[in-house]
């Protein structure tokens, strides 16, 4: 296992349903529910309406 991935992050990945995810800034998002906030430089969840 890559040392840059914590045990908790690894377990989260393994317990998620199959699909495409974005993992950034210690969080993970489904591919269709994230965007990069260019002011903060971090990815964030897109608010659902």
Q: What are the structural domain ranges in the chain?
A: 1-36
Asked if residue 19 lies in contact with residue 29, where contact means CB atoms within 8 angstroms, the answer is no
Residue 17: per-residue pLDDT: 86
Residue 38: per-residue pLDDT: 94
pLDDT in tens, 1-48: 455 666 776 677 778 888 888 877 778 888 899 999 999 988 899 987
Q: Containing H/E element for 24? A: strand 21-24
């Amino acid at each position: 296992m890559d040392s840059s991935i914590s045990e908790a992050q690894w377990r989260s990945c393994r317990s998620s349903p199959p699909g495409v995810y974005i993992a950034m800034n210690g969080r993970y998002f489904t591919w269709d529910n994230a965007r990069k906030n260019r002011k903060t430089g971090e990815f964030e969840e897109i608010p659902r309406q």
